[in-house]
Amino acid sequence: STEKGIHDFLEPSLSALHDPKLLSGMDKASNRILQAIEEKQTVLIYGDYDADGICSVSMLYLFLKSRGLEPIAFIPNRHTDGYGLSEETVEHIASTYFPDLVITVDTGISAHDEVEMLKDCGIDVIVTDHHEPPEILPDCTIIDPKCTGQSYPFAGLCGAGVVFKLIQYIGGVEEALNYVDICAISTIGDIVPLLDENRVLTKLGLEKINGDNPRPSIAYFKKLLK
């Protein structure tokens, strides 16, 4: 309804990205991840099995790998494991991978009991999610733009958008932009509103996808579509 609003909608730019430090929990999560990187700890990334979950896992996996870690990517089987963290998957993770830190992406905000189980096993937990928070939150570090009591101005990010902000906070916006193509797939695939930051991430991601040097997986998909 204003000239600026119309311009920002039609020509989204990096300047429209919000400061990631405004997200509650960002500082604590960043410090814990930097500790894991410095001490070469075992980090397991737990995601959902949809487009947003898989892309969120991929982004954080690639980022941590670029920092010298060998993270474990865990995506549950929708038929045998069900949705989100469960008692069975927690027991499997704890007894098979022995992680020092579990980071959930695109899931975890409702997993109060499962987070307690992980903590009882001596495993630290960071929850990154974008779903509506329940009354009782997990007792751990949480990054979720829909949680109350924070000053972040946009609550419409998808799970990969939250991971993008986490990478932006730790490594800067240029580092986060290495994964903006994956983030765009999530943003479109999870059908979040294409407004505010989501327009920026989608525009920049599509430019990267349609550029001359897409990542190998995307180049393969594009080849199949010709």
pLDDT of residue 128: 98
pLDDT of residue 77: 79
pLDDT of residue 79: 67
pLDDT of residue 4: 84
pLDDT of residue 1: 85
- CA–CA separation, 150 vs 210, rounded Å? 36
Tokens of 101: 């830190």
Residue 156 and residue 53 in contact, taking contact as beta carbons nearer than 8 Å: no
pLDDT of residue 8: 86
- How far is CA 180 from each of CA 98, 99, 165, 177, 214, rounded to the nearest angstrom? 31, 28, 11, 5, 11
3-state secondary structure at position 203: helix
pTM higher than 0.85, yes or no? Answer: yes
Mean pLDDT by 10 residues, the chain (226 residues): 88 94 98 98 95 97 98 86 84 96 97 97 98 97 96 97 98 98 97 96 97 95 90
- CA–CA separation, 39 vs 78, rounded Å? 33
- How far is CA 61 from each of CA 103, 107, 134, 146, 170, rounded to the nearest angstrom? 10, 16, 27, 24, 14
DSSP string, 70-109: -PEEE---TTTT-SS--HHHHHHHHHHT--SEEEEES--T
β-partners of residue 101 are 43, 124
Q: Is 137 exposed, middle or buried (0-12, 13-18, 19+ CB in 10 A)?
A: middle
Among candidates 143, 100, 104, 96, which has minimal Cα distance to 124?
A: 100
